[in-house]
Amino acid sequence: MTDDKDPGNLTGSYALGAVDAAELADFEAHLAQSHQTRDEVTELMDTAVLLGLAAAPVQPSAGLKASIMGQLDAHPQLPSEATGFVASDFAGPAARKASARWFSKPVTALVAVAAAIALFVAGGVVTTTITQDNFAQQQADQLAAINAADDVQRAAVDLDGGGTATLVWSNELLRSALVVDGLATLPTDRQYQLWYIDGAGARPAGVFDVAASGSTWRVLEGTMNTGDTVGVTVEPRGGSPVPTTDPVVVITSA
């Protein structure tokens, strides 16, 4: 039925956080283009907040506040730099407000970081689906740190399929992140795996998936040594101890 295909039909589900992961990137792309959809989603999100406020309040345990206050030092505030990377070429304050919200609401703050970087390095808009959990938060913090490092460097390569891969790294922090655009999606039993490669061989540095948009980013696990090459191979889901296929991306950090 046509309802399955019409992205405009997902406004309510989006406001409730119920859009399936597989459809999210496409819907957000549609949002970026249709201010009618955006206005509707804005109103339905405000409606959803009333559902949230209607839940019966619960008194926290006595220790919770002290525990949170005690952790503030370990959780530095993020820099407030602008995340409004999307041109608000829509008329009227309401539309502008609505469009502004899409791209800088807390839900997409991390995406905005990634996208700002991708814009910088690749000149295109990246839509990344990120599961918002501690891992994603950690990744975003690390990515922000790499980009903020005094010695941040970048190197880009073209992919066989037509996209690009960009390595962003800091020798000072011993860390790197890979931003890809136009990488093919894989069958569900496969994942892309990252490797740090030097004269001694390849060290596993994490796995990642690519959404339908073909764009994503990932901070590599482990430490990077000066001059390391970063490679990406296709591996069984969960990764392999050593590469089992030829790399689809190879970038040297020197």
Partner 1 sequence: MLELVPGEMNVENPAEPSAATVLQDVLERVGRGDRAAFSELYDQMAPRVLGLVTRLLRDPAQSEEVAQEIFLEIWQTSTRFDPNKGGAATWILTMTHRRAVDRVRASQASRDRDVRVGIRDLDVDIDHVAESVEVRIESERVEKAMARLTDMQRQAITLSYYGGYTNSEVATMLSVPIGTIKTRIRDGMIRLRDELGVAS
Interacting residues with partner 1 (CB under 8 A): 1-4, 9-13, 15-21, 23, 39-40, 42-61, 64-65, 67-69, 71-72, 75-80, 83, 94, 97-98, 100-101, 104-107, 109, 131-134, 137
What is the closest distance, in whole angstroms, from the C-beta atom of residue 164 to partner 1 in the complex? 28
What is the closest distance, in whole angstroms, from the C-beta atom of residue 150 to partner 1 in the complex? 22
Query: Which residue is listed with tokens 């020798």?
Result: 171
User: Which residue, 94 or 174, has its beta carbon nearer to partner 1?
Assistant: 94
User: Which residue, 8 or 206, has its beta carbon nearer to partner 1?
Assistant: 8
Q: In 3-state terms, what secondary structure has residue 231? A: strand
User: Which residue, 83 or 176, has its beta carbon nearer to partner 1?
Assistant: 83
DSSP states of 68-132: HHTTTTTSPPPP------S----SSHHHHHHHHHHHHSGGGHHHHHHHHHHHHHHSS--------
User: Which residue, 49 or 242, has its beta carbon nearer to partner 1?
Assistant: 49
What is the closest distance, in whole angstroms, from the C-beta atom of residue 33 to partner 1 in the complex? 19
User: Which residue, 95 or 197, has its beta carbon nearer to partner 1?
Assistant: 95
What is the closest distance, in whole angstroms, from the C-beta atom of residue 59 to partner 1 in the complex? 4
What is the closest distance, in whole angstroms, from the C-beta atom of residue 125 to partner 1 in the complex? 19
What is the closest distance, in whole angstroms, from the C-beta atom of residue 104 to partner 1 in the complex? 6
User: Which residue, 99 or 253, has its beta carbon nearer to partner 1?
Assistant: 99
User: What are 8-17's contacts with CB under 8 Å, separation 24+?
Assistant: 8/34, 8/36, 8/37, 8/40, 11/37, 11/40, 11/41, 11/44, 12/44, 14/41, 14/44, 15/41, 15/44, 15/45, 15/47, 15/48, 16/48
Indicate the helix (H) or strand (E) that contains 164: strand 164-170
Task: Quote the CA–CA distance of 231 and 222 in Å, as a whole number.
Answer: 14
User: Which residue, 61 or 188, has its beta carbon nearer to partner 1?
Assistant: 61
What is the closest distance, in whole angstroms, from the C-beta atom of residue 29 to partner 1 in the complex? 17
Q: Write the CA distances from 27 to 21, 48, 128, 157, 184, integer angstroms.
A: 10, 18, 12, 29, 19
CB 155, CB 253: distance < 8 Å: yes
